[in-house]
């Protein structure tokens, strides 16, 4: 479904990505794992259309989307920092993705309200639509961010360290919950993390990056049993 071909990206003189090739199948849950500064976020942002590569192409279902902007790629995006609008209620935050649609495609106000309620049920926050983000816990806020990302009915969900700011217990619960949601919604998901345990637990396939290159790709078992980068072996058995 997603094909990334020979992607390079420099920031000034600094080469952030060197010729990345990667294919992701429909329905897969892929983790991009690597130390800080290895290029994970840059690759994710290029796939989303939030950033443009210097060379190479990105294909969605065989179509070259390399020059399409983020709004034209139909992807859902969740960041580490919740990036919710503090002055909007939870329901308004969730509905935001729908209200910015082009006038022609925009649903009626009643339909938007109904859809926001549906999404809040999906992320198990029914009844909290009238609250403001400041009145929710960190884990709840991140579920609101996820509901907002899902509002546009993306096929592809991109998550950049979404649980990074949360404590260990909440992270563990949210991982299991995200896995279930991914399956239930038939999503294709790419999850950026520097946490090996998180990557191995969540993903169908792990892509290990370092210094702007892909160092290893495999199932969690393959990566765990036979790590080929110091970054991963460093963590094994800890
Ligand atoms: P990761 O997500 O693995 O931590 P990033 O993709 O964020 O890595 O960053 C890769 C490298 O590119 C880092 O050295 C980072 O400092 C650099 N970089 C990322 N974005 C920018 C930018 N907008 N301007 C300059 N350098 C950047």
In this predicted complex, what is the ipTM? Answer: 0.97
15 CB under 6 A from ligand 1?
no
Detail the DSSP E strand segments found in 44-202.
55-60, 63-64, 75-78, 156-160, 188-193
Detail the DSSP E strand segments found in 1-99.
2-11, 14-24, 29-33, 55-60, 63-64, 75-78
For residue range 30-52, what is the model confidence (pLDDT) as tens digits? 999 999 999 999 999 999 999 99
Instruction: From 152, 175, 208, give the residue that closes a domain.
Output: 152
41 CB under 6 A from ligand 1?
yes
Residues 18 and 93 in one domain: no
Q: Which residues lie closer than 8 Å to 220 by C-beta, 6 or more apart? A: 199, 200, 201, 203, 206
Q: Domain containing 93: what range?
A: 75-152
80 CB under 6 A from ligand 1?
no
Please state, for a pLDDT cut of 90, what percent of the chain lies above it.
67
Structurally, the chain folds into a number of domains equal to 2
Q: For residue 238, what is the DSSP state?
A: -
Pocket test for ligand 1, best of 42, 47, 190 (most atoms within 8 A of CB): 42
Six token digits for residue 128:
């909290």
Q: What is the pLDDT of residue 58?
A: 98
Residues 148 and 159 in one domain: no
For residue 238, pLDDT beyond 50: no
For residue range 133-184, what is the model confidence (pLDDT) as tens digits? 999 999 999 999 999 999 888 999 999 999 887 888 888 888 988 999 999 9
Instruction: From 152, 176, 204, give the residue that closes a domain.
Output: 152
207 CB under 6 A from ligand 1?
no
């Amino acid at each position: 479904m997603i094909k990334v071909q020979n992607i390079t990206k420099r920031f000034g003189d600094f080469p952030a990505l060197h010729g990345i090739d990667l294919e992701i199948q429909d329905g897969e849950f892929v983790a991009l794992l690597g130390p800080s500064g290895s290029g994970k976020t840059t690759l994710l942002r290029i796939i989303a259309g939030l950033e443009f590569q210097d060379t190479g192409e990105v294909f969605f279902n065989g179509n070259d989307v390399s020059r399409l902007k983020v709004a034209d790629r139909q992807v859902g995006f969740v960041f580490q920092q919740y990036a919710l609008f503090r002055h909007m209620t939870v329901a308004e935050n969730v509905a935001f993705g729908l209200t910015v649609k082009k006038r022609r495609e925009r649903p009626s106000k009643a339909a938007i309200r109904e859809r926001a309620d549906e999404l809040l049920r999906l992320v198990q926050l029914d009844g909290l639509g009238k609250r403001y983000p400041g009145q929710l816990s960190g884990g709840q806020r991140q579920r609101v961010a996820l509901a907002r990302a899902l509002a546009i009915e993306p096929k592809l969900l991109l998550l950049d360290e979404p649980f990074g700011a949360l404590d260990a217990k909440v992270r563990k619960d949210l991982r299991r919950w995200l896995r279930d949601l991914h399956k239930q919604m038939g999503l294709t998901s790419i999850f950026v993390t520097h946490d090996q345990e998180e990557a191995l637990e969540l993903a169908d396939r792990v892509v290990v990056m370092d210094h702007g290159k892909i160092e290893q790709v495999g199932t969690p078992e393959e990566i765990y049993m036979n790590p080929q980068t110091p970054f991963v072996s460093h963590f094994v058995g800890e």
